[in-house]
Amino acid sequence: MMKRCAKYFRKRVPEAMVIVLIFVLSSGCVSKSKYLELEESSATERARFQDEITGLKSQKASLESELTAEKMKLQGEISALQSQKGDIEGKKESLDREMAELTDKIAQMARQTEAIKKEKDDEINRLKGTYDNLVKDLKGEIEKGEIKVTQIRNRLSVNLVEKVLFDSGHAEIKAKGKEILKKVGDILSNVKDKEIRIEGYTDNIPIGESLRNQFPTNWELSTQRATNVLRFLQEDAAVDGNRLSAVGYGPFHPVANNDAPQGRAQNRRIEIVLAPLDVQEVLKDLK
């Protein structure tokens, strides 16, 4: 009898109740009312378990959905980062190329700068040789204060006061002046990398009436004197005319005070200026 009851209840009762039922059955077969009560309790437990399973499944589905969304989000971020990485690597390659080009340009500019510096140094050294020759050949006139030779880096000037070249108010070169200009010209004829500019200056005393027909103002007198010196250097000292120019400044750009006779004597002068052939530097020198 007990075996049949146990077999019957194993078919109808969930495993969760097996232990209880076995305990009950071990005491003998239960009544029908007791069985119905147990079956109802078992159904309640099954329903509760089912609700828990449904809830767990729902939680699982929700977690899986969240996990999928998070995974997709992370994949999107990874794709964006990979794209950024590609952009950054591309920019880096571009910057590396630009850096290499700049490095080459800097090296090239350094070489050019060094070449220009060497050329300037050579130019200054050549000009120093010209300066030394002028100082040596014009030593007597320099000691008398009639001539001044000045070198400032790549510019050289020979300042000749009026009395060694011209009579007062005249533009014809005196014999003594020609001797001096011949010495200067023989040296300048060997200078090939400079413009040679002849500049004429006067004091601020107006031209006398007897000379106004020939020189209305000091502008004309200073310009004619500079032109006559230029022609002498070209025709008698074989200085290349392509590098010669003449300009008259009249009473302007004085080097001393015109209120005193000594100052006016210094202002009446011819300056032979050796300036760089570079156009921009020549223009700056003319300002």
Cβ neighbours of 144 (radius 10 Å): 11
- Residue ending a domain, choose from 59, 79, 94: 59
Q: Which amino acid is at 81?
A: L
pLDDT higher than 60, residue 3: no
pLDDT of residue 1: 47
Q: Which residues pair with 270 in a beta bridge?
A: 160, 200
Comparing 55-69, 233-247, 261-275, the range with the smallest average pLDDT is: 55-69
Alpha-carbon distance 233 to 39, whole Å? Answer: 140
Is residue 40 located within the same domain as residue 131?
A: no
H helices of 138-260, in order, are 139-143, 162-165, 175-188, 218-237
Instruction: Answer yes or no: do 55 and 172 share one domain.
Output: no
d(Cα 120, Cα 193) in Å, to the nearest integer?
11
Asked if the structure places residue 112 within a domain, the reply is: no
Is residue 207 within 8 Å of residue 221, measured between CB atoms?
Answer: yes
What does the alpha-carbon distance between residue 162 and residue 182 come to, in Å, rounded to a whole number? 16
Structure tokens at 53: 């399973």
> Looking at residue 262, which CATH number applies to its domain?
3.30.1330.60
Confirm whether 224 is domain-assigned.
yes
Element (H, E) at 152: strand 147-152
Overall number of domains in the chain: 2
0.75 surpassed by pTM: no
Give the structural domain span for 191. Answer: 124-286
Q: Which helix (H) or strand (E) holds 151?
A: strand 147-152
Domain shared by 133 and 216, yes or no: yes
Same domain, 55 and 144: no
Q: Is residue 77 part of a domain?
A: no
Q: Report pLDDT digits (tens) over 88-123.
A: 988 898 999 999 999 999 999 999 888 888 888 888
* Boundary of a domain, candidates 11, 35, 59: 59
Digit-coded pLDDT (tens) for 12-43: 445 545 555 555 555 545 577 887 888 888 88
The answer on 265 and 151 residing in a single domain is yes
Burial of 263 (0-12, 13-18, 19+ CB in 10 A): middle
Name the region of 261 (left: φ>0; alpha: ψ -120 to 50; beta: rest): alpha
Query: Which pLDDT tens digit goes with each residue over 147-164?
Result: 999 998 888 999 999 999
Domain membership of residue 268 (yes or no) is yes
